[in-house]
Amino acid sequence: MRPTTDALIIVDVQNDFCPGGALEVPEGDAVVPAINALMDDFAVIVLTQDWHPPRHGSFASEHPGRAPMETVQMPYGEQVLWPDHCIQGSRGAAFHPDLRTDPAQLVIRKGFRPAIDSYSAFFENDHTTRTGLEGYLRERGVERLTVAGLATDFCVKFSALDAARLGFEVTVPEHACRGIDLDGSLAAARDEMRGAGVVLAP
Ligand code: VGL
Ligand code: ZN
């Protein structure tokens, strides 16, 4: 067991990001056994859950004439438009049924403000509005984070980059992550994370 200065942050292992879901990540469900095993090593465990109201501003269905995976300009910057996904209380928003959730002490829900998306576990996409996770981790004395889950090139990446910027030591175990890979976004995400001092582990 690692010391209580280490935390495991498990990002968005939800039905909609797994095969058959509304925004499926290829092999998304393959992270479940890997993450379940990782949980045995950590005393501090946090789950995040993408948690959108119906008609969320990141949904292509809210942008007439636009299709999923297109990009639009929002007041806070560029936004990829997604299929409707992870609607609060829906089966798609639930954690994968095989994910162990009992060992987690905190679930951070994000993306609940209709007009702004939230990829990172720490900040919304305006990079200013906080989720509260940093304060929680600091109050528990956490200094090092292992960030795993879905999707490597979106919510895992933004969470890892924000964590590194906030001064945490960050490792991303790639066997416990899968990516969406839109136009090379997976390779770019790996470069960005490495460039920010995030350790990519096998
Ligand atoms: C995610 C796209 C939209 C993610 C969430 O969890 O990576 N990606 N919402
Ligand atoms: Zn989302």
Active site residues: 12, 110, 155
pLDDT at position 182, please?
A: 95
DSSP, collapsed to helix, strand or coil, labels residue 93 as coil
- List, for residues 146-167, the tens digit of each pLDDT value: 999 999 999 999 999 999 999 9
16 lines ligand 1 (CB under 6 A): no
13 lines ligand 1 (CB under 6 A): no
Peptide bond into 176 cis (omega under 30): no
- Where residue 62 falls among pLDDT bands split at 50, 70, 90? very high
155 lines ligand 1 (CB under 6 A): yes
* Ligand nearest to the Cα of 177, by number: 1
Sign of CA dihedral 153, 23, 52, 71: positive
> Tokens 């993306």, residue?
111
Residue 2 Cα to ligand 2 middle (Å): 31
pLDDT at position 76, please?
A: 96
pLDDT at position 85, please?
A: 98
- Where residue 9 falls among pLDDT bands split at 50, 70, 90? very high
154 lines ligand 1 (CB under 6 A): yes
pLDDT at position 56, please?
A: 98
- List, for residues 23-50, the tens digit of each pLDDT value: 999 999 999 999 999 999 999 999 999 9
Q: What is the largest CA-CA distance in the chain?
A: 52
Across the range 136-142, mean pLDDT stands at: 98
- List, for residues 69-126, the tens digit of each pLDDT value: 999 999 999 999 999 999 999 999 999 999 999 999 999 999 999 999 999 999 999 9
pLDDT at position 186, please?
A: 98
Task: Please give the distance of CA 144 from its chain centroid, rounded to a whole number.
Answer: 17
Work out the number of other CB atoms within 10 angstroms of the CB of residue 3: 12
Q: Cα angle at 1 between 190 and 17, to 5 degrees?
A: 40
Say if CB 94 and CB 15 are below 8 A apart.
Answer: yes
Task: Please give the distance of CA 76 from its chain centroid, rounded to a whole number.
Answer: 19
pLDDT at position 190, please?
A: 98
pLDDT at position 146, please?
A: 99
pLDDT at position 72, please?
A: 97
pLDDT at position 27, please?
A: 98
From the list 132, 123, 171, 126, the residue with the least C-alpha distance to 9 is 171
Whole-number Å distance between alpha carbons of 88 and 110:
10
DSSP class of residue 133 equals H
* Cα separation of the two ends of the chain: 20
The reported pTM is 0.97
Residue 39 Cα to ligand 1 middle (Å): 22
pLDDT at position 120, please?
A: 98
Whole-number Å distance between alpha carbons of 169 and 164:
6
Task: Please give the distance of CA 98 from its chain centroid, rounded to a whole number.
Answer: 18
pLDDT at position 174, please?
A: 98
- According to DSSP, the residues that pair with 140 across neighbouring strands are none
Say if CB 35 and CB 10 are below 8 A apart.
Answer: yes
